[in-house]
Amino acid sequence: MANDDIDATDERTSSGVWRWGLATAGALIVAVLLVALVFLVSASTRERDAALARERHSYGMMLLTRSLDASMARSEAALGRFVISGDKQVGALYYDEWQRAGRILDRIRKLSANNPEQAPLIDELSKLYEQRGKELAAPATRAYFRQGWPALSTFNKAGNAESVTRIAELLEKIAANERALLGRRSDSVTEMVTRSNTLTALLSGIGLMLVLSAIVLGWATLQALTERRLARHHAEAEAERAEALERAVAERTSELQHANERLLQEAAERANTEEKLRQAQKMEAVGQLTGGIAHDFNNMLAVVVGGLDLARRSLARGADEVGRHIDNAMEGANRAAALTRRLLTFARAEPLLPKGIDPGALIVGMSDLLDRTLGERIAVETRLTADPWLIWCDPHQLENAIINLAVNARDAMEGQGRLTIETGNVTLSDGEIGAARAGDHVRIAVTDNGCGMTPEVLEHVFEPFFTTKPVGKGTGLGLSQIFGFARQSEGEIEISSAPGEGTTVALYLPRFEAEDGVMIEERPVVTTAPAGLAHATILVVEDDARVSAATVSALEELGYTPIACGGGEEALAILSGRTDIHLVITDVVMPGMTGPELVARVTPLYPDIAILYVTGYVGDAGDSMMFAQHDVLRKPFTVAALEAAVAQALTAIDTSLDPFQAEPNRA
């Protein structure tokens, strides 16, 4: 019996050992599997996070391409406003936006460095960005130097460049590639999430098996149930987190898609609106300009053509009215020339001849002219500051501006009232008065007690050919001419008016600091050449054969000896072979070598030869500083004006010239 008990005990012991070993082996296997699954879950989580990072990278690339497109569009829009308005702050906005686009392009290049599909497109886009920057630099430079129409023409040419279309194509292709890549990466994220859920489920199953193995090994039931409950809670939390992440990704994807669609729609609407606005403004300005010019020039040409035709008919029959008809034709031609000068002033293309002047002294010197112009029924009152600052501007243009304002005031007062002209020293802050820069300015204001203007009229007073006067009473260029003069002199104009309360127009011109506190003096005006130069030899440089022939004939009529040539190179050749030339009369704008370029070469070689510029339009040939040391005669001119200009220029020849010799004194 004892043996049976021992055998039974041994059998139970052996069976227990076998079961323990089997349970231990199963537990070890389950533990190994659990460790492997934990490693796989961890690896799957890292892959999922990496896939999400790549997905966010694609979103970033798409947003950067849209930002680059928007920044370049804003930069070109700012440049368009800069070309139209000439406002340098708007020009700075164009430059900042363009630089910001460059920085965005650098970020896109860095983010796509490891993408062989995008890298060639980014490189081509960078080259086109540099090319586009050069194309836009040309109109920006012209706008900076206030070259209105040339800048607008260059900007229009830049807007039609092929680079615009190619940049848009590249941006769209880069975005399309990123969208395709985003789709693949989204699929990868979904696959990673699914794999993670599967591994989590397997991990939960292994945990349950481990609990069962622990029960087999004799672990406490409560501990086993607790572990299983914890494992289940963990699995549910992982599942919920995966579902929340999937929902967040789907919502973010939908938001980005809607935002992208809105951006594209807004960009298209803005571009369409801006194009329509630019076209409408362009056509309105061109319509006003061409209509006004055609109307006024037709009137003036009618006087010229009619007068000359009547003079020809009177000559044919020997009548005495020839002089009167020629006078009428001359008056029409002079009015046409005055209109041309106003147009050039409005376009800021007429050269200014600035000097340091006292505005108070200039106004006092105009008192007689104002009295004769306005008539006895207009009472003129001047209020001049006791210690006026000097200003740097063209005195003739300033006189014309004051006369124009006074005539407008007279018409507003219907020929009877009080006109006040006052000056004052003011210090402006940046943006206080229009586009005037901060600093010291002189304020010249003309005030009347006339009928005043409505707000609707004030909005258009500076537009060319806009006038409220009856037909034939005004060209509508007066205030636009004054506006151009003020801006060309780096100043500003301000107008305030109300119906029944009169009008005040104020010019703000920058203060000029003269050296040693002495104002620049003008040379005394002469109308007769020095006795020794009454028959001086004059070289006429003019590319237009008809103008050259007329100038030569006029000089011969005045008793001079003219020599005609058609360009700068020919003039230099003539000067190198002759020593009897006292004066060079040169046009400014000529093909090949311009007038200022010719003078720059002549002056060092022949310092004793006087220079006289003859010009009707300066344009890009140079600014007014080129004419500071020489006399200027504006086209068209009369024989009397030519005589006075030649006499003034010859007077400047060095006093070492022997008045009894016909040749200049050359070293």
**Which pLDDT tens digit goes with each residue over 109-166?**
888 877 888 888 888 888 888 888 888 888 888 888 877 788 778 878 877 878 788 8
Instruction: Choose the weakest-confidence range: 3-12, 350-359, 428-437, 506-515.
Output: 3-12
- Is the pLDDT score of 237 beyond 70? yes
pLDDT at residue 352, rounded to an integer: 62
- Is the pLDDT score of 315 beyond 80? no
Instruction: Give the burial class of 323: count Cβ atoms within 10 A of its Cβ; 0-12 exposed, 13-18 middle, 19 or more buried.
Output: exposed
Whole-Å CA distances, 210 to 95, 204, 369: 69, 10, 115
Instruction: Give the burial class of 639: count Cβ atoms within 10 A of its Cβ; 0-12 exposed, 13-18 middle, 19 or more buried.
Output: middle
Q: Cβ(504)–Cβ(495) under 8 Å?
A: yes
Instruction: Choose the weakest-confidence range: 330-334, 346-350, 374-378.
Output: 346-350
pLDDT band at 571 (very low <50, low <70, confident <90, very high): very high
Identify the residue whose tokens are 């205030």: 479
pLDDT band at 660 (very low <50, low <70, confident <90, very high): very low
Give dist(CA 354, CA 520) in Å, integer.
10
Q: Which two tokens stand for residue 115?
A: 């993408």
Q: Which of 98, 78, 89 is nearest to 155 (CA)?
A: 78
Secondary structure (DSSP) of 505-551: EEEEEEEE--GGG-PPPPPPP--S--GGGTT-EEEEE-S-HHHHHHH
Task: Identify the bridge partners of residue 495 per DSSP, sorted by sequence position.
Answer: 505
Give dist(CA 463, CA 480) in Å, integer.
6
State mean pLDDT over 170-188: 80
Give dist(CA 609, CA 426) in Å, integer.
44
197 versus 280: which is more confidently predicted?
Answer: 197
Identify the residue whose tokens are 């012991």: 13
Give dist(CA 552, CA 550) in Å, integer.
6
**Which pLDDT tens digit goes with each residue over 530-547?**
767 878 999 999 988 888
State mean pLDDT over 492-517: 82
Whole-Å CA distances, 625 to 108, 147, 353, 393, 518: 47, 16, 8, 12, 20
State mean pLDDT over 269-286: 67
Q: Cβ(590)–Cβ(540) under 8 Å?
A: no
List the 537-541 sheet strands across, edge first: 561-565, 537-541, 581-587, 610-615, 631-634
> Model's pTM, two decimal places?
0.39
Domain 356-517: CATH superfamily, name plus number = Histidine kinase-like ATPase, C-terminal domain (3.30.565.10)
Q: Cβ(499)–Cβ(626) under 8 Å?
A: no
**Which pLDDT tens digit goes with each residue over 467-503?**
665 444 454 456 777 887 788 788 888 888 888 888 9
pLDDT at residue 373, rounded to an integer: 77
Q: Give domain limits for the chain.
A: 2-276, 302-346, 356-517, 531-651
Q: Which two tokens stand for residue 535?
A: 């028959």
Give dist(CA 359, CA 388) in Å, integer.
8
Dihedral class, residue 23 (left if φ above 0, else alpha if ψ from -120 to 50, else beta):
alpha
Q: Cβ(481)–Cβ(407) under 8 Å?
A: no
pLDDT at residue 487, rounded to an integer: 81
pLDDT at residue 576, rounded to an integer: 93
pLDDT at residue 362, rounded to an integer: 87
Q: What is the CATH number of domain 531-651?
A: 3.40.50.2300
78 versus 517: which is more confidently predicted?
Answer: 78
Choose the most confident range, by mean pLDDT, from 226-230, 357-361, 459-463: 357-361
